[in-house]
Amino acid sequence: MPKEKNIILGVCASIAIYKACEIIRRMREEKINVTVVMTDDAEQLIRPVVFQSLSGNKVYRGLFDDPQVWEIEHVSLADKADLVLVAPATANIIGKLSGGIYDDLLTCTVSATKAPVVICPAMNENMYLNKVVQKNIKELKDAGFNFVGPRKGNLACGKIGIGCLASVEEIVKGVKKFL
């Protein structure tokens, strides 16, 4: 029987955060173990207990939270990951990763992993098409990061445009491809 795969699901503060719940559910159906790492801002939109209940695992949040056991969390999380998935990924997290700004648990985990990283952008069309955001995406792709989406659809601002989080099916397919 093959070993269960482990992914880190990095969750950022996007209105698409609710789709992370379905991503976890689908990953579990695929026999993929999911550990969630939330940004501080993501906690303003959804409580960690939701992700803990769906994944069955502890949710990691702050870089300086008190560890249950002595370990450097971002390194131990990075070492255990077969893949790191950031969904939804905001313009902020994309910019931080592109610029080498590792100032929270999620960015530190991404910087420490040797596993494939899959980024799923979700933001307003104007933000997504911003020249700086596009430059950051190109730099990350050139550095070996993988991207799934975004797609065109109904945006939180009420307009239709590019920037919607890829469908859960597309994300699952992408994860399986890069595992």
Q: Among all residues, which ones are annotated catalytic?
A: 157
Tell me the sheet residues that pair with 146: 118
Give the SS3 label for residue 13.
coil
DSSP state at residue 148? -
Asked if 119 contacts 89 with a C-beta cutoff of 8 angstroms, the reply is yes
> The dihedral of CA 18, 22, 128, 102: what is its sign?
positive
155: amino acid identity, one letter = L
Taking the C-alpha atoms of residue 101 and residue 173, their distance in angstroms, rounded to an integer, is: 29
